[in-house]
Amino acid sequence: MNKARGFTLVELMVTLIVVAILMAIAIPTYRQSVIKSNRRAAQAVMMELISRQEQYFVANRVYATKAELNYNLPPEVDANYEYDFAIDAGPPPSVTVDFTAEGGQAGDGDLSVSTLGTKTPSDKW
């Protein structure tokens, strides 16, 4: 008797179901990982902007506007966030860096950090 080689339809369907279940778990986890990675990159840039603002303040006794600082976001951050400064004359003088999430990052929310050490939202830091 000739024995057929290959897989039965039931075996293929079981394999497909297992793969579908794994994908249903893996894809959302991967997306959350990408969002978290984008947030961490933005936070690193925010801290760099705060550092530049502090250097500008030491040299000029006033915080820089966006035009004066003339900083371009790295492409991976620029694709997901827009930024702006909110300068407060004080006392004490301070500046807040606000990052507004856009595109696929919008669901994660906006980020903010100030020279006074205030970071919002606190659960994202």
pLDDT in tens, 103-121: 989 989 999 999 999 999 9
Report d(CA 49, CA 97) in Å as an integer. Answer: 8
Which DSSP category does 65 fall into?
P
Count of beta carbons in the 10 Å neighbourhood of residue 110? 17
How many alpha carbons fall within 13 Å on the CB side of residue 66? 11
Write the pLDDT tens digit of every residue in 10-40.
999 999 999 999 999 999 999 999 999 999 9
End-to-end Cα separation, the chain, in angstroms: 68
